[in-house]
Structure 1
């Protein structure tokens, strides 16, 4: 059989919630807004599958470049390369 290397492969610990934070996410995280040029942290919420970035970007800091519908376009550095992510606000947290 062929090897299957899906997007959620080897992510049992990274894409799991703690016991206290399990369940549905608060609505406030879904309606948060970010300005263009602001810095955000990519923190994946595993209970929301839509608009989820790749797990390799979990914990990275990105810059908001624009908006597409309800999602935000982010610029992230991955090694030497600069990559573009399109992510829903549930997976983002403002940098303080």
Structure 2
């Protein structure tokens, strides 16, 4: 039998890499940021924190906050025509502004 090589972070050397000027300690406000249900967020990994991360396919996607699980948030992301829910740490999320027309289409 063939053995699977690599884990969930395979082929992510450049994708999850941090820019040289962003290296160092992360800000506490970014780590403890809060969101409301219905907020739209962008998903970008914080490489220093592996907890509550996601599969590489969802990197750079937009999603909607639909709930909370402890300190983590339940984010709904469209994968093609299928809605998928991810449990993510807030350090990997950033709030984005979405127009009413774009929000109505989702």
Task: Give the Cα separation in 2 of the matches to 1:24 and 1:58.
Answer: 22
- CA offset digits 1:19-44 (Å, max 9, x no partner): 10112211111111111011000011
5+ residue gaps, structure 2, are 98-106
**1:23 aligns to 2:17 (yes or no):** no
Q: Higher helix fraction: Structure 1 or Structure 2?
A: 2
Aligned to 1:54: 55
The normalised TM-score by structure 1 is: 0.94
Shift of 1:5: 3.5
Aligned residues: 96
1:23, 1:54 → 2: CA distance?
A: 24
Structure 1 portions without partners, runs of 5+: none
Aligned-partner SS, 2:21: coil
TM-score normalised according to structure 2 size: 0.86
Tell me the CA shift for residue 53 of structure 1.
Answer: 1.2
Q: Following superposition of structure 1 onto structure 2, how do residues 1-96 of structure 1 map, counting pairs within 5 Å? A: 2-96=3-97
For 1:31 and 1:21, the matched residues in 2 are separated by 18
Secondary structure of the 1:24 match is coil
